[in-house]
């Protein structure tokens, strides 16, 4: 099984990025109106695939499919995509009158970018899975982003453009406001996340979020997300009033959205599209 999942990682690396990396359209799937969990899914991963793979074990309020522009050859669009997602999710939490201390924000792979930013902004608990410290350096170093780099270079962009545009939004820069007991799950054999980017994140957590917890798995990218389920369940059981716990190291626009007609199954609320202009 492990070898097969490692092979899946290689296939995904070869697949590359969608032709349109400038689209700000995203999809929000509404689930249980009583849940306080919000998911941000991996890039180019549909809700149905994520659910079948076991990435979403928790009952959730909403799950967001990523816009292609979350990893774009246009630096400005990366930021716009992230802010559109977090704005919509924060408005949803406000509309449902969910206190930040009770919310759980889960980010998987690319979804950890908006998840970390939102959780830090409102003071919620975060579960970050397969993340990196900086989006600019990840785009410029990860083999998964090679097509994005090539397109950006052809447009005249360099890493400095991403650095200047995204400054202040990186996961490593959005840790101080996280609620205690937030959780970071990383894979030691993750080919999508360069070692420097994972180590940078771990160093930032130690420096700025010492009350957060880290789980290191002997796994690649997909397997890390699959194995995160048990730890997500553990995090969801920790409330703002519970005692401290420790996990072991295991090796801007907003959309007015209609309420779902009833309880689960989850319903697709449709595409949200923003301007792709610079």
Q: Tell me, what's the pLDDT at 17?
A: 57
Q: Tens of pLDDT along 216-260?
A: 999 999 999 999 999 999 887 654 433 333 333 333 222 323 233
Contact 187, 220 (CB under 8 A): yes
- Strands across the sheet with 267-272, in order? 213-217, 183-187, 125-129, 104-108, 37-40, 62-65, 26-30, 267-272
SS3 assignment, position 163: helix
Q: Tell me, what's the pLDDT at 266?
A: 46
Q: What is the mean pLDDT of residues 88-107?
A: 97
Counting every residue written for the chain, the total comes to 278
Whole-number Å distance between alpha carbons of 79 and 31: 27
Q: What is the mean pLDDT of residues 99-104?
A: 96
pLDDT classification of 72: cutoffs 50, 70, 90:
very high
Residue 96: CB atoms within 10 Å: 14
Q: Tell me, what's the pLDDT at 20?
A: 85
Q: Tell me, what's the pLDDT at 15?
A: 56
Q: Tell me, what's the pLDDT at 18?
A: 60
The DSSP symbol for 117 reads H
Contact 38, 93 (CB under 8 A): yes
Q: Tens of pLDDT along 151-208?
A: 999 999 999 999 999 999 999 999 999 999 999 999 999 999 999 999 999 999 999 9
Dmax over CA atoms of the chain, in Å, equals 53
Lowest mean pLDDT among 12-26, 97-111, 246-260: 246-260
pLDDT classification of 96: cutoffs 50, 70, 90:
very high
Strand 183-187 and strand 125-129: the pairing is parallel
Task: List all residues 6 or more positions away from 249 whose beta carbon is below 8 Å from its beta carbon.
Answer: 214, 215, 216
Q: Tell me, what's the pLDDT at 75?
A: 97
pLDDT classification of 277: cutoffs 50, 70, 90:
very low
The percent of residues in the chain predicted with pLDDT above 90, rounded, is: 74
**Per the CATH hierarchy, to which homologous superfamily does domain 2-272 belong?**
Alpha/Beta hydrolase fold, catalytic domain (3.40.50.1820)
Q: What is the mean pLDDT of residues 24-29?
A: 97
Q: Tens of pLDDT along 30-65?
A: 999 999 999 999 999 999 999 999 999 999 999 999
Q: What is the mean pLDDT of residues 250-278?
A: 36
Q: Domain ranges for the chain, please list them.
A: 2-272
Q: What is the mean pLDDT of residues 129-147?
A: 94
DSSP structure string for 25-74: -EEEEE--TT--EEEEPPTT--HHHHHHTTS--S--SEEEEPPGGGG-SS
Q: Tell me, what's the pLDDT at 245?
A: 36
Task: List all residues 6 or more positions away from 236 whose beta carbon is below 8 Å from its beta carbon.
Answer: 37, 58, 104
Contact 107, 113 (CB under 8 A): yes
φ, ψ (nearest 5 deg) of residue 136: -60, -50
């Amino acid at each position: 099984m492990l070898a097969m999942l490692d092979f899946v990682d290689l296939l995904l690396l070869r697949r590359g990025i969608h032709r349109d990396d400038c689209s700000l359209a995203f999809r929000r799937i509404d689930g249980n109106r009583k849940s306080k969990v919000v998911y941000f899914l991996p890039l180019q991963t549909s809700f149905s695939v994520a659910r079948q793979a076991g990435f979403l074990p928790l009952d959730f309020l909403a799950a967001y499919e990523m816009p292609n522009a979350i990893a774009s050859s246009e630096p400005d669009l990366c930021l716009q995509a992230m802010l559109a997602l977090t704005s919509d999710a924060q408005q949803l939490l406000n509309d449902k009158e969910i206190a930040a201390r009770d919310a759980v924000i889960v980010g998987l792979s690319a979804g950890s970018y908006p998840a970390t930013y939102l959780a830090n902004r409102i003071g919620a608990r975060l579960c970050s899975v397969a993340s990196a410290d900086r989006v600019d350096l990840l785009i410029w170093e990860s083999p998964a982003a090679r097509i994005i780099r090539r397109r950006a270079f052809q447009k005249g962009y360099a890493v400095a453009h991403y650095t200047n545009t995204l400054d202040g939004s990186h996961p490593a820069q959005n840790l101080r406001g996280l609620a205690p007991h937030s959780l970071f799950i990383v894979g030691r054999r993750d080919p999508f996340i360069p070692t420097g980017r994972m180590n940078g994140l771990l160093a930032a957590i130690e420096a700025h979020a010492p009350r957060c917890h880290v789980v290191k798995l002997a796994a690649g990218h997909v397997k890390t997300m699959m194995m995160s389920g048990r730890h997500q369940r553990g995090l969801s059981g920790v409330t703002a009033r519970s005692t401290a716990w420790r996990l072991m190291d295991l090796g801007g626009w907003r959309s007015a959205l209609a309420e779902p007609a009833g309880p689960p199954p989850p319903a697709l609320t449709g595409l949200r599209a923003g301007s792709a202009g610079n």
